[in-house]
Amino acid sequence: MTKKYDKLVTNAAGRLVPTVINGQGAIPFMGVGQFKPIGHRYGPAISSCADYPDDGNKLVPTLRDALEMCGLKDGMTISTHHHFRDGDLIANQIFDIAHDLGVKNLVWAPSASFPCHEYLIKYLEDGTINRIEGSMNGPLGKFTSFGKMSGLAVLRSHGGRYQAIQDGELKIDITVIGATCCDPFGNANGLNGTSASGGLGFALADSQYAGKVVVVTDNLVDFPCVPWQIQGNYVDYTVLVDKVGIPEKIVSGTTQITKSPDRLLLAEMTARFCDVAGIIKDGFSFQAGAGGTALAVGDFFYKIMKERGIKARFARGGSNLYLVKMLEEGYLDFILDGQTFDLHGVRSMAVNPNHLMTTPFTSYNYHGKGNFAGLVDVAILGATEIDLDFNGNVVTHSDGYLLHGIGGWQNCLFSKTVIIPIPLFRDRIPVIVDKVTTLCGPGELIDVIVTERGICINPLRTDLIEKVQGSDLPLVSIKELKEEAEKICGIPQKPEFLNEVVAAIKWVDGTVIDAVWKLSE
């Protein structure tokens, strides 16, 4: 049996990481922009039209038929996508089928996982699934933290997932794409149909590079299904089912503006900082990430822009009611949308040509010739921990549990200014720490920390410091923030990790930036 990992070394960030992961070589993190890829993009097997139906009709009766025709077998890597977020109905079905067929040792490579996927723990336990390469949220995260996954979990950002698939690090054997509109040929989108979920960007890499591509839909239309967010020319089989996903469950905790007064304060301070620093000006751009606070920041931007008649060129990130309103009222020229976060976003993308679907390729892939995230003036992001060197953690909590995926977080660190509004402590646990439990993003890319007790600018950003000098913004040093937190909460106890790696955290270039360590149950 393949070892979960092997050959630990200390990487450029001082973290101990494996250089062999699930039997495959891995490169330790070498510093931001330091690793130069030397290989070639992955080339999937060449297909021939001679092997596909003359009339273009690729329909097969059931998902099970499709998986069997794809040659589902032990050890394969199967991918799914999170356009329905917690309303996904596909992933669990796939592994039910695999289990029925007696297939073992699969790798599940979702673009993200959600609480609904707790269901899959039984298949992780019985050997149907060897490991997850994707995100581990909640129960799946705990399961991983306890070292119960057979293989080593691998976490990647959205852009890192595209990079890994493109570069051939993550070879997908079969991808199953849930689409709310599809023709028999496989052209598909998430915009039309009663289950409409928005853009299908997270499935792009899989459609381009997977060995076999299946599209499952509950809304089959005549050729051509337009827009073809997924191109039928990449698709092997199409399947019609009763219900492909639950769009109402797209809206979740991370996709609604916060109502907490504390967080609204953080959001307001963040917007004020941007204003004082001269970031909010005609033609600027911003990223409004998931999470209630980030969304609220966008809303405060809107107020400032309205007051002064300022127009932004574009907003990047998940779309929702608030961004759509700004677009429709003319405060935004474009939404560059990575993920529709509510049904207002879905509707807008379907009808407004200036509400554009973006993909992890356009926005986040670090192994492209630039990407959109780098062009954004300001990105508002979250974190579970920030340390004295401004390093950020988004996957584990200070108690050591792996509880979140990376999402687009690492990718957005390349925006021109990165601001992290966070409370000084959560449940009496300080958020500013001496050293992050898990390193997800190097401090040199994190510019500003906004807390209810003060705003802290990374000393590397002398330009920002200069711009806000003399303002009434409550500027503090990160050391002061940490001390203040510890004054209130006491010095937090470090988790006691066992000497075993349970997950690898990839950086945007495919190198290993940190490892997550085992906890005892």
167 lies in the binding site for a second copy (CB under 8 A): yes
Dist. CA 220–CA 239, nearest whole Å = 9
Find the largest Cα–Cα distance for the chain: 73
Question: Do you find a cis peptide bond into 227, omega within 30 degrees of 0?
Answer: yes
284 near a second copy, judged by CB under 8 A: no
Is the Cβ of residue 53 or residue 253 nearer to a second copy in the bound state? 53
Q: Smaller CB distance to a second copy: residue 232 or 442? A: 232
Among 19, 20, 56, 127, binds a second copy (CB under 8 A): 56
Does position 521 interact with a second copy (CB under 8 A)? The reply is no
Q: How far is the CB of 293 from a second copy (least distance, A)?
A: 26
Handedness of CA 45, 50, 56, 62 (dihedral sign): negative
How many residues form the binding site for a second copy (CB under 8 A)? 66
198 in contact with a second copy (CB under 8 A):
no
- DSSP secondary structure code for residue 495 in this structure: P
Q: Are 299 and 257 in contact (CB under 8 A)?
A: yes
**61 touching a second copy, by CB under 8 A:** no
Cβ neighbours of residue 11 closer than 8 Å, sequence gap 6 or more: 17, 28, 29, 30, 511, 512, 513, 514
CA-CA-CA-CA torsion sign (485, 487, 490, 494): positive
* Cβ at position 161, least distance to a second copy in Å: 15
d(C-alpha 436, C-alpha 406), whole Å:
15
Backbone angles phi, psi at 239, to 5 degrees: -135, 135
Question: What string of H, E and C letters represents the secondary structure of 357-397?
Answer: ECCHHHHCCCCCCCCHHHHCCEEECCCCEEECCCCEECCEC
**Rounded CA separation 521/518 (Å):** 9
Q: Is 202 in the site for a second copy (CB under 8 A)?
A: no
Site string for a second copy, 333-372 (x = CB under 8 A): -x-x----------------xx-x----xx--xxxxxxxx
Q: Is 414 in the site for a second copy (CB under 8 A)?
A: yes
Query: If you search the block for the tokens 């219900």, which residue do you land on?
Result: 243
DSSP classification of residue 426: E
Any contact of residue 235 with a second copy (CB under 8 A)?
yes
Tell the smallest beta-carbon distance from residue 326 to a second copy (Å).
16
- Cβ proximity to a second copy: between 69 and 101 the closer is 69
Is the separation of the CB atoms in 39 and 25 below 8 Å?
A: no
The correct pick among 313, 325, 347, 467 for binding a second copy (CB under 8 A) is: 313
Q: Which of 36/259 has CB closer to a second copy?
A: 36
In the complex, the smallest distance separating the C-beta of residue 232 from a second copy, rounded to whole angstroms, is 7
Pick one of 101, 304, 375, 429: the residue that binds a second copy (CB under 8 A).
375
Phi/psi for 415 (5° steps) reads -65, 165
Q: Is 517 in the site for a second copy (CB under 8 A)?
A: no
> Judged by CB under 8 A, does residue 226 bind a second copy?
yes
Beta strands in 150-307 (DSSP E): 153-155, 174-179, 181-182, 188-189, 212-217, 237-240, 285-288
Over the window 241 to 280, marking each residue x when it contacts a second copy by CB under 8 A and - when it does not, the resulting string is ----------------------------------------
Residue 190 or 400 with smaller CB distance to a second copy? 190
E strand or H helix that includes residue 302: helix 292-308
Residue 474 in the binding site for a second copy (CB under 8 A): no
Nearer to a second copy, 230 or 386 (CB): 230
- Binding to a second copy by residue 211, rule CB under 8 A? no
Cα separation, 489 vs 4, whole angstroms: 38
- CA 176 to centroid of chain Cα atoms: 18
**Site membership for a second copy, residue 331 (CB under 8 A):** no
Peptide bond into 139 cis (omega under 30): no
49 binds a second copy (CB under 8 A): yes
Least spacing, CB of residue 334 vs a second copy, in Å:
6
Considering only residues 18, 28, 160, 186, which one is a binding residue for a second copy as defined by CB under 8 A? Answer: 186
CB of 340 to a second copy, least distance (A): 18
Query: Which range of residues in 50-58, 174-182, 264-272, 475-483 is near a second copy by CB under 8 A?
Result: 50-58
Q: What angle do CA 28, 29, 33 make, to 5 degrees?
A: 140
Between residues 149 and 513, which has the closer beta carbon with respect to a second copy? 513
Under the rule (CB under 8 A), what is the footprint of a second copy? Answer: 33-56, 58, 166-168, 185-186, 213, 222-224, 226-228, 231-236, 283, 313-314, 334, 336, 353-354, 356, 361-362, 365-372, 374-375, 414, 416, 509
